[in-house]
Structure 1
Amino acid sequence: MEQLGSKDELRAAVAEARRESKTVGFVPTMGALHEGHLSLVRAARSRADLVVVSIFVNPTQFAPGEDFERYPRRLDEDMALLAAEGAEIVFTPSAETMYEAGATVTVDPGPLGDVLEGAARPGHFRGVATVVAKLLGIVRSDVAFFGEKDFQQLRIVERLARDLDIGTQIVGCPIVRDADGLALSSRNAYLGPAERAAALAIPEALEAAAQAAAWGETDGRAIEAAMREVLDAAGLEVGYAVLVDPATLRPVEAFEAPARALIAAKVGGVRLIDNCEIRPGRVPAHD
């Protein structure tokens, strides 16, 4: 496994693979890897001959006062995990490599970036869209893998790749959860025992939404109320608990087709997000 820090080195390695008629899969991450990230690497291994993983904590997607400085960084551990999964190349650029002096162009994520996380974290998705566009342009992989836990991000990246004719297929992969149901997240490391116990209200709220749908509830607002009731009872600070169209992220009022339940909530100051598909008249297994 190679660790590369420069764009030119990475481009050269990918070009060599292309000369050997290899397909290239790409998994972008910010490090602090967990089983969710590793499931993306396995998906890439199953679809491509060469797997490239990036580890880059992107400063432009953090607003002032967010956790950029304290975001977990465990490069040695991450490298060992990736070696065990069979990744061939790990791209670990510096901020100076990714954002050269004088760079002024950014990528507007469009209307999908204005709602939900975009409304709560202004500028976040502009940073995400810009760094993803840059990484896809550097790697030029055949396929790239993103987790469904960051569902809004996945939809924005899909739109970005399509609208900008990037030529990389974007594949969404299922959420990976701990045995207790909590979605895996690098930020779970911030939670103490009591906070983690309280955070379980998030998957429980998603289950409440699924149960309401299974019992025939067709009012989107009623399904949202079922989620909020669980979250409020646990004392979480709710950012949103909504039922949306999975393509447009617009609120669903009359629930008649598969939709997505999305939650953002703070637990002891730690912002967590989660989601699941909701189908009318059916309780789905958790992702």
Structure 2
Amino acid sequence: MAKEPEIMRDKDQMRTWSRSMRSKGKTLALVPTMGYLHQGHLSLIQEAQKHCQLTIVSIYINPGQFAPSEDLSTYPSDFQGDLEKLKKVGVDAVFCPKNLYDYAIDSKIPSGSYSDLGFDGTGERKVGSCDENGVEFGKDEKNPRGSSGDLGFEGGVKGKVVSCVEEKGDGRLGHETWVRVERLEKGLCGNSRPVFFRGVATIVAKLFNIVEPDVAVFGKKDYQQWRIIRRMVRDLDFGINVIGSEIVRDVDGLAMSSRNVHLLPEERDKALSINKALSKAKFSAQNGQISCKELRHSVVQAIFEAGGRVDYAEIVDQESLKPVEEIKSPVVFSVAAWFGKVRLIDNMEINV
């Protein structure tokens, strides 16, 4: 029998509910999501239910982790469909706030006057004062757009890398505090998405402060994100156990992702090359091929021949995420690649 979860849109309401449950001796698990739920998300919920008495799922498309040039405006959503899935798996509460960056600090801008994603009152998902890549450029034209800025990334671009929350100059939304895990956010996805992990760490910290869970579950498909959240929790003394749940794949081997819906059928077939290439590399490593250069080359070549464009293919230490030259300890082989207009990520742990 399907269970009707409590649905909360207000952060004070969510916090009050959580504290009420904790006062009754209940333990709470949080599964943060951006919605458009699939079996991978449901597996996170099932994992959470093993560890706590009550499970909360948050649904919030976080503008703080998108640059204006990225796919915030096309990120899929199906709130009613999500609720039906959550009922079937017995979730206790759903937290679906409108805008966690709207503090209504300006009396001329009443609370709730922005769109659900925190943009201006036009109803469009845009920040007009940013350029198309989310970067205010200096005079150094030798550096690629979006390669650095005042987030501490290398590359020398002068100016500011911004997210879809921020607007140039006036600061109408009021948010100016960001959480950064400075070393782990570099490399891998951090190279091409300099806004991303600052936004992820910040929104997760906000959710932790609002929900106050005992346990939080994240998928290992977003491996760098999982490690960053674990490090943030350790460094800032959150009393939360952050659990990483294994990647869930479709029957054809493609890692489940909300973005898969945007793949054309032929693009999806080509994207299967990621898992195939990673599986082959893992097999090679387990059978004595420890040269990361050779393993990376094989994966890049396979994805290229399938018609994909590789963003990165890196073999890194599982804890530090530092690149390694030879596999002598547990590593993770992480890949990001474009098929058509869709950027997919995947990874495979290699324990030798």
Partner of 1:77: 81
Q: TM-score, normalised by structure 1?
A: 0.95
The match for 2:181 among 106, 109, 116 is: 109
Task: Give the alignment of 1:19-58 within 5 angstroms.
Answer: 19-58=23-62
**Cα deviation, residue 215, structure 1:** 2.7
Answer with 1 or 2: which has the greater Rg: 2
The code of the aligned residue for 1:56 comes to Y
Which amino acid in the other structure matches residue 50 of structure 2?
Answer: S
1:212/1:226 contact within 8 Å kept: no
Selected match of 2:190 from 118, 124, 140: 118
Give SS of 2:71's match: coil
1:254 pairs, out of 315, 326, 333, with 326
Deviations 1:207-258 (A, max 9, x none): 1211221331111111111211211211210011111101111111121122
Q: What is residue 165 of structure 1 aligned with on the other side?
A: 237
Q: Which residue of 2 aligns with 1:265?
A: 337
**Does the CA contact (< 8 Å) of 2:281 and 2:295 recur in 1?**
yes
Q: Does 1:150 align with 2:222?
A: yes
* 3-state SS of paired residue (2:73): coil
Q: How do 1:215-230 and structure 2 match up within 5 A?
A: 215-230=287-302
Q: Larger deviation: 205-214 or 74-83? A: 205-214
Deviates further, 220-229 or 172-181:
220-229
What letter corresponds to residue 68 of structure 1 in structure 2? L
1:62 maps to amino acid: F
Q: In the superposition, relative to structure 1, how do residues 99 and 107 fare at CA in structure 2: closer, same or farther (>3 Å)?
A: farther
After superposition, the C-alpha distances for 1:84-110 in whole angstroms (9 at most, x for unaligned) are: 111010000012x44424221111221
3-state SS of 1:137 partner: helix
Q: Output the amino acid matched with 2:281.
A: A
> What is the CA-CA distance between 1:149 and the residue it aligns to?
0.1
- 1:83 Cα deviation from its structure 2 partner: 0.9
| Partner in structure 1 of residue 346 of structure 2 | 274
The letter of the residue matching 1:234 is: A
Cα deviation for residue 44 of structure 1 reads: 1.1
Quote the Cα distance in structure 2 between the aligned partners of 1:147 and 1:76.
Answer: 23
* Cα distance in 2, alignment partners of residues 214 and 46 from structure 1: 32
Instruction: Give the corresponding residue for 1:285.
Output: none
Q: State the 1:43 CA deviation.
A: 1.0
Greater share of helix: 1
Specify the alignment match of 1:189 in structure 2: 261
Tell me which amino acid in the other structure corresponds to 1:54. Answer: S
Tell me if the contact between 2:188 and 2:314 (Cα under 8 Å) persists in the aligned partners.
Answer: no
User: Which range moved further: 249-258 or 19-28?
Assistant: 249-258
Distance in 1 (CA, whole Å) between partners of 2:101 and 2:87 is: 24
2:246 aligned to which of 152, 170, 174: 174
Runs (4 or more) in structure 1 with deviation over 4 Å come to none
Percentage of pairs with the same residue? 44
Counterpart of 1:284? none
Q: Structure 1: how far apart are the matches of 2:175 and 2:286?
A: 51
Aligned to 2:284: 212
Q: Which residue of 2 aligns with 1:240?
A: 312
What is the rounded CA distance, in whole Å, between the counterparts of 2:274 and 2:175 in structure 1? 40
Q: Letter of the aligned partner of 1:170 in structure 2?
A: V
Task: Judge conservation of contact 1:25–1:50 (CA < 8 Å) in 2.
Answer: yes
Structure 1: runs of 5+ lacking an equivalent: 281-287
Q: Does the 8 A contact of 1:137 with 1:166 survive in 2?
A: no
For the pair 1:65 / 2:137, whether they are aligned, the reply is: no
Post-superposition CA distance 1:13-33 (Å, at most 9, x none): 111111110000000000000
Instruction: Provide the rounded CA distance (Å) in 2 between the counterparts of 1:129 and 1:279.
Output: 27
TM-score by length of 2: 0.78
CA displacement 1:166-222 (0-9 Å, x = unmatched): 111100000000000000000000001100000000101101211221331111111
Bigger shift: 214-223 or 24-33? 214-223
